[in-house]
Structure 1
């Protein structure tokens, strides 16, 4: 029995010594680069201080074509036919003038093929039917203070589509206010706005 006790005590004592040696021999693995790198935070960029945008005073008497053509009582809606671009209304611009009267001149801009138009001033008919030919025809209008909206409606497309026309707007001194051409389908309008200051 003494032998068993002695063998057990030696085994326990040697295990204790062996375990302590293992603990003393453990070493951590050093990093490849022992130098500690300093982390530099990104620089803060202050936002650029732009001066506030200059707000232009809107011209009080300008006509917005997007709003204008929404009125289905006055303007035929655009036809969504692929490849046909003349089945829509055309806005030809806002122009300021000091003139008392103005003359609107129009003629067929392409092949004279029987194009006909109707002319309106502020939604009132001033020329019910005009046949366009190679020579300019005209109508003189008295301008009112403020907005003078001139609509030219295509009554047909002649023998060759679309209705093609050229027009000029001349003030009472003979200066050209606007000159343009349009290509519109039957029932559509070309619109120019003269603002008398």
Structure 2
């Protein structure tokens, strides 16, 4: 009986202590101040919708390299050799110009190892064999209205593969139209297209 009394007394004492802890944590919510007014945010105007931009017509004189390199009479097909990435043709871009003439300058971009190239303008040979040295060599071409496709074919790979070259294309005012490098294997071509407007 003493045990039951002791347990009831212990539970009563615990509940009384717990109730006091709960009472101490209570904080009343202050009453709303009647002098302060609620601030209503201004209404935002819906953003104006711009009409969709007109679809631009694709430039009719741009050359698509995927279509260009399909002509196996002019371009050697890509060699599927794992780990060798230079046995393919390389497209160096389409560029618009208003120039009457253009100058193409080229040289060996790496170790001078006997690289030779052939230069074409619209599939006609304009330089049959050029030895690439450390100094720039150049050829001046008259641009025709429309597409002027310049192909530079690697005639060999010198002592160190691949055929590497740096080239620059200038307009008739001496402004650079394009500047790049190519790495191609023997028989493959680097192609740049100048579109005279």
What TM-score results when the alignment is normalised by the length of structure 2?
Answer: 0.73
The 1-side partners of 2:51 and 2:75 are apart by 42
Q: 1:34: which partner in 2? A: none
Q: 1:113: which partner in 2? A: 113
Q: 1:41: which partner in 2? A: none
Matching of residue 82 in structure 1 with residue 82 in structure 2: yes
Q: 2:12: which partner in 1? A: none
SS of 1:66's partner is helix
SS of 2:58's partner is coil
Q: Deviations over 1:41-81 (max 9, x none)?
A: xxxxxxxxx96674221101000000000000000000000
Mark the runs of 5 or more structure 2 residues left unpaired by the alignment.
1-49
The 2-side partners of 1:74 and 1:54 are apart by 37
The 2-side partners of 1:110 and 1:54 are apart by 46
The 1-side partners of 2:84 and 2:51 are apart by 46
Q: 1:43: which partner in 2? A: none
Aligned length: 149
Per-residue deviation, 1:149: 0.2
What does 1:63-74 correspond to in 2, within 5 Å? 63-74=63-74
SS of 1:102's partner is strand
Q: 2:160: which partner in 1? A: 160
Please tell me whether Structure 1 or Structure 2 has the larger radius of gyration of its CA atoms.
1
Q: 1:150: which partner in 2? A: 150
SS of 2:166's partner is strand
What TM-score results when the alignment is normalised by the length of structure 1?
Answer: 0.73
Q: Deviations over 1:20-48 (max 9, x none)?
A: xxxxxxxxxxxxxxxxxxxxxxxxxxxxx
The 1-side partners of 2:145 and 2:84 are apart by 38
Matching of residue 176 in structure 1 with residue 176 in structure 2: yes
The 1-side partners of 2:110 and 2:73 are apart by 30
Mark the runs of 5 or more structure 1 residues left unpaired by the alignment.
1-49
